[in-house]
Amino acid sequence: MDFSLTPELADFQRHLHSWVDSKLPKAAAREWEAREHEYPVELWDLMAEQGLHAVGLPEEYGGSGVDVLSQVIIGRELSRTLGGLVWIWGLSSFCARSIAESGSEALKADLLPRLAGGEIKIAIAVTEPSGGTDLLGSMRTTARKVEGGWLVRGQKIWSTAAHVSDYLLVLAKSDPDAERPSRGMTLFLIPNPSKGLEIRQIPKLGMRAVGSCEVFLDDVFVPDEYIVGDVHDGWRGILTSLNNERIIVSSLCLGVLDGVLEDAVQYMKERHAFGRPIGQFQALQHYVADMAMWQMQSELAIYRAAWLQQTGQDVGTAATMAKVIASDYATKAADLGIQILGGMGYAQETDMQRYWRDVRLYRIGPITNEMGKNLIAESFGLGRSF
């Protein structure tokens, strides 16, 4: 068994690690995050200059190739310093994958090169206010066929960066008589702005500069050519990216764990109490050992899931396991990091509180860890619990 990266991927990781330290240091992340509700356009542009938006997209559309392991490396290295600000990269990456796999040739030719170059942004708007994880059962947003297109009406919530995105990827119920909810959905690409479209930001605990939004759709007209995938089969277009999303989210959690461990060890070497470095205190050493073990377990689960997807194998359970494992451990590590730093861990001038506020969301979205465990248990042949 070979647990090492290929020489090319190892070189890529080393280069990216150095670039992140130089261009996206933790001090800059604290400054960007301090501008609450102000999207850091300069961060998006830095990522575009580095070609990061092109990773995961087909080369024929201006991408650098569909490489899941490269996406994992990017997610991990960026979140090591950026924490939740990494969503500025991750979000368009998920949306672009849905378009690349389910969009028409015209849509792909028009949008993917611009996505790869960082010229446009796309946000996902699928979650319903009353539903959360119960996406299909709670679907109230509807799409009604009219001449030349569709009228979409309803409301979405927790649409990250919708307020600055050029398009919204919206799932709506288009066939109210479908035998199964998953067969009556259509996936639409809605330009922003559009008549009848309103977007409002939601104040929240973490990831403040990225922006999470409510989306209101009042008979928004969407031309037929802006359908992603087949009519009434939009759920399939979303599913193509769900496993990839869980793998990438798990890599973001691992990156936070890297950053927490990095800061904790440095602080324990520099801080003195009772006449010696606090790194000599056994209790704190145990905290570091726990973090290191959580880091290793998360890494193994994530890279295995990425390898399964990249080699075309069934990855559903492995992707869900990686997400649950990494988000649980990263949240625990950030909490211990605050404990190690003591009062300074609670201060906004350090990164521990930022890591904790940001990573706490990953136990909830894009799927709650409780629901993830239900899916894992079902893979053993147990009956559905929801």
State the chain's mean pLDDT as an integer. 93
Residue 121 DSSP label: -
User: What is the tens place of the pLDDT at every residue in 267-315?
Assistant: 999 999 999 999 999 999 999 999 999 999 999 999 999 999 989 899 9
Q: For residue 237, name the pLDDT band (cuts at 50, 70, 90).
A: confident
Alpha helices in the chain (DSSP H): 7-23, 26-34, 41-49, 68-82, 87-102, 105-116, 234-270, 282-310, 316-341, 352-359, 369-378
Q: 229's torsion region: left (phi>0), alpha (psi -120 to 50) or beta?
A: left
Q: Pairing state of beta strands 272-273 and 276-277?
A: antiparallel
Q: Which residue has the higher pLDDT, 291 or 35?
A: 291
Alpha-carbon dihedral 325, 329, 330, 335, rounded to 10 degrees:
150
- Catalytic annotation on 225? no
Mean local confidence (pLDDT), 364-379: 94
Residue the block writes with tokens 């988000």 = 327
Domains and CATH numbers, the chain: 7-120 (1.10.540.10), 123-232 (2.40.110.10), 236-378 (1.20.140.10)
Q: Which residue has the higher pLDDT, 178 or 134?
A: 178
Instruction: Compute the radius of gyration of the chain from its Cα atoms.
Output: 21
* Residue 240, pLDDT score: 66
Q: For residue 133, name the pLDDT band (cuts at 50, 70, 90).
A: confident
* Residue 134, pLDDT score: 77
* Residue 181, pLDDT score: 77
| Structure-token pair, residue 98 | 């849905």
**CB 63 within 8 Å of CB 55:** yes
Q: For residue 151, what is the enclosing H or E element?
A: strand 149-160
Is 189 strand, coil or helix? strand
* Residue 262, pLDDT above cutoff 90: yes
User: What is the tens place of the pLDDT at every residue in 316-360?
Assistant: 999 999 999 999 999 999 999 999 999 999 999 999 999 999 999
User: What is the tens place of the pLDDT at every residue in 69-124?
Assistant: 999 999 999 999 999 999 999 887 778 878 888 889 999 999 999 999 999 999 99
Q: For residue 21, name the pLDDT band (cuts at 50, 70, 90).
A: very high
CB atoms within 10 A of CB 56: 24
CA 290 to chain centre: 25
Rounded to two decimals, what is the model's pTM?
A: 0.93
Active-site choice (77, 101, 128, 245)? 245
